[in-house]
Amino acid sequence: MARIILERFLQEHEEAPPSKSVINSMLRDPSQIPDGVLANQVYQCIVNDCCYGPLVDCIKHAIGHEHEVLLRDLLLEKNLSFLDEDQLRARGYDKTPDFILQVPVAVEGHIIHWIESKASFGDECSHHAYLHDQFWSYWNRCCCQDSCPL
């Protein structure tokens, strides 16, 4: 809502339509908004956003990190050889799952090559976005070949 109101405000007060980068910059730092009342209202919207605000992002990040640590501990406990995101990025991969199993394992009749830990799940649209943005690249790299190139 704050984005829509900010866009309309800027369209009415400037000659050219605002660019996406300008709007994003103002949403990250509302003090850049030329109208003080609107800047305060946008700030309040961002702070009080119970779904996508900065506090919620911090909580989601902390929960995600905690689950990755728990998963790492389980992999070590089971003596499974794996590479984590940091190791994969050090090898030059930009999109990485949380863990690549160096030796795939079978779980309930399915061969598991990699693990992407999602501590929270969203709606159908979010799952579709995850498939498009992350999972298919892992699948293509690790599951459609005789061996994982990582």
Digit-coded pLDDT (tens) for 85-124: 999 999 988 778 889 999 999 999 999 998 988 766 566 6
What is the pTM for the complete model shown? 0.61
CB 88 within 8 A of CB 150: yes
Q: Which positions of the chain have pLDDT values less than 50?
A: 147-150
The pLDDT of residue 147: 47
Question: 131: which DSSP letter?
Answer: I
CA 146 to chain centre: 29
The pLDDT of residue 149: 45
Angle formed by the axes of helices 36-47 and 54-77, nearest 10°: 30
The pLDDT of residue 102: 94
